[in-house]
């Protein structure tokens, strides 16, 4: 079986076939850095992380581009409200995004084009659309895309063409699905734009780019530079971006290049808190830094997210997070146990057989439109059966470890190692040496006392043929 993905464009699961294998160009809409991204945003970024890692696991060479939206309606409004210049306002939120991304173990994209640094490409794209007659200047001085001039408009979001209001216009970046209109490509500079430093000169008038235009221009510029193409293999984002954002991206890009913009469109579902989509508007807003400050292990967040398919809404509850935390801990203990056994016994054996079966199940699950819940179920079956095999003294640990390591390159859900204080390490080692001495002298009471002393400080020890190992619990 090979990888198949659900393409929003065709509304079906299709075999994945990039334009020039093994290369895969992947564009994912990045954060709007007007504020902290919430964990609903990070659910989308984590689904994209899974996608990217599984593509790499499957032998593809991924070029991952993620933009940073550092100029749009919201960033300008927020900067003006804070009395700051645009770059001054967005800088801390860009840094926060990087910190949160690293905390959640999301692999960095290969390139992060920033909207404010890609304005020349945007100006070129608008000029091209004007030249082709699919864009026009409105009486308000802004440049609009004429959706009636692009027959495929509405294909991604399945809008019926009869709903289109020819000539009706919308200037704001976000608008309702039941109200498709000509949308702004380039907005004439307003005093608020000038005040925060969000205005640029262009042959068609001083102004600033519309949000939808930004992504088209940055995606085309980046894939042109790296890969000499005008067609992305995959474009991904959250379901809320299908309309108008992605619909508009297709219109702008394809009207300009005459080429298909993206072969495959992937969309991740929402994260709900108490049954409602998480957003600042509903006041059920949780950021990645809230979780980090609460001491939540990123591995638990990742496992929690993997346990629901990316195309299904996920309910975020404290109980579900605690359950994922327990799962991660169990996995970590199994992993350490397998690691300790790698020096013992043969390479082949029951444990290796179980791991090989797991690998087959893992692949077939993820090949099936990234079915991570099934992949995780297979992993925890391995933990269960593998522990039983180890209890029975079965071998094959070295081969099993290799397979689990490969799966972890995709899921990345081993618990985060706790930072250990060097003074504690010295004390533990001294205590273990004292215990060894007591055991050799057959003073088992003293040895038990030391074990209890260690346990009181959260140190668990385990004796094996190769000596005593310890870990913090």
Give me the residues that bind Zn ion (CB under 5 A), please.
Answer: 29, 215
Cα–Cα dist 154/244, whole Å: 9
CB 30 → Zn ion: shortest distance, Å?
A: 7
Pairing of strands 232-238, 262-268: parallel
Give residue 370's region: left, alpha or beta (phi > 0; psi -120 to 50). left
CB 358 → Zn ion: shortest distance, Å?
A: 37
**Angle at alpha carbon of residue 132, lines to 9 and 65, rounded to 5°:** 45
On whether the CB atoms of residues 212 and 252 are closer than 8 A, the answer is yes
CB 296 → Zn ion: shortest distance, Å?
A: 29
CB 170 → Zn ion: shortest distance, Å?
A: 17
Q: Which is nearer to Zn ion, 253 or 395 (CB)?
A: 253
Q: Which is nearer to Zn ion, 67 or 308 (CB)?
A: 67
Hey, how many other C-beta atoms are within 10 angstroms of the C-beta on 76? 23
CB 314 → Zn ion: shortest distance, Å?
A: 22
CB 132 → Zn ion: shortest distance, Å?
A: 22
Q: Which is nearer to Zn ion, 30 or 386 (CB)?
A: 30
For the chain, the distance separating the N- and C-terminal CA atoms, rounded to the nearest angstrom, is 41
Q: Which is nearer to Zn ion, 155 or 471 (CB)?
A: 155
Q: Which is nearer to Zn ion, 29 or 198 (CB)?
A: 29
On whether the CB atoms of residues 175 and 244 are closer than 8 A, the answer is yes
Hey, how many other C-beta atoms are within 10 angstroms of the C-beta on 279? 15
Identify whether 46 is preceded by a cis peptide bond (ω within 30 of 0): no
Q: Which is nearer to Zn ion, 217 or 398 (CB)?
A: 217
Smallest CA-to-CA distance from 171 within 156, 157, 186 is with 186
Cα–Cα dist 82/89, whole Å: 8
Q: Which is nearer to Zn ion, 72 or 182 (CB)?
A: 72
Tokens of 272: 């709900």
Cα–Cα dist 134/147, whole Å: 8
CB 279 → Zn ion: shortest distance, Å?
A: 18
């Amino acid at each position: 079986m090979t990888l198949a993905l659900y393409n929003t464009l065709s509304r079906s699961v299709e075999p994945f076939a990039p334009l020039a294998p093994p290369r895969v160009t992947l564009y994912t809409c990045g954060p709007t850095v007007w504020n902290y991204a919430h964990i609903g945003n990070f659910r989308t970024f984590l689904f994209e992380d899974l996608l990217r890692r599984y593509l790499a696991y499957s032998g593809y060479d991924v070029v991952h581009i993620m933009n940073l939206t550092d100029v749009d309606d919201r960033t300008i409004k927020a900067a003006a409200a804070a009395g700051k210049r645009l770059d001054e306002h967005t800088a801390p939120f860009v840094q926060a995004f990087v910190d949160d991304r690293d905390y959640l173990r999301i692999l960095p994209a290969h390139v992060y084009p920033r909207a404010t640094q890609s304005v020349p490409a945007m100006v070129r794209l608008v000029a091209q659309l004007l030249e082709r007659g699919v864009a026009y200047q409105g009486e308000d001085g802004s440049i609009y895309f004429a959706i009636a001039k692009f027959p495929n408009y509405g294909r991604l979001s399945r809008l019926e063409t009869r709903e289109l209001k020819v000539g009706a216009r919308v200037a704001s970046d976000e608008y309702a699905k039941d109200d498709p209109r000509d949308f702004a490509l380039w907005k004439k500079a307003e005093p608020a734009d000038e005040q925060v430093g969000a205005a640029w000169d262009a042959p068609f008038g001083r102004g600033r780019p519309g949000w939808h235009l930004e992504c088209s221009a940055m995606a085309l510029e980046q894939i042109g530079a790296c890969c000499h193409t005008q067609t992305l293999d995959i474009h991904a984002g959250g379901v809320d971006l299908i309309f108008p954002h992605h619909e508009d991206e297709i219109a702008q890009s394809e009207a300009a290049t005459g080429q298909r913009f993206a072969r495959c469109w992937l969309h991740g579902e929402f994260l709900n808190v108490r049954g409602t989509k998480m957003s600042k508007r509903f006041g059920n807003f949780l950021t990645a830094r809230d979780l980090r400050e609460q001491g939540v292990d990123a591995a638990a967040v990742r496992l929690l997210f993997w346990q629901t398919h990316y195309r299904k809404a996920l309910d975020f509850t404290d109980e579900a997070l605690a359950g994922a935390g327990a799962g991660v801990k169990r996995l970590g203990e199994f992993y350490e146990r397998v690691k300790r056994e790698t020096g013992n016994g043969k390479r082949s054996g029951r444990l290796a057989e179980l791991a090989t079966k797991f690998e087959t199940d893992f692949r077939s699950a993820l090949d099936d439109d990234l079915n991570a819940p099934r992949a995780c179920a297979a992993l925890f079956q391995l933990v269960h059966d593998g522990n039983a095999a180890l209890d029975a003294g079965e071998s094959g640990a070295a081969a099993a470890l290799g397979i689990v390591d490969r799966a972890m390159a995709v899921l990345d859900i081993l618990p985060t190692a706790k930072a250990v204080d060097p003074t504690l390490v010295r004390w533990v080692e001294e205590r273990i040496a004292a215990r060894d001495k007591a055991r050799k002298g057959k003073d088992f009471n003293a040895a038990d006392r030391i074990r209890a002393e260690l346990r009181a400080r959260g140190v668990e020890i385990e004796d094996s043929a190769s000596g005593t190992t310890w870990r913090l619990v």
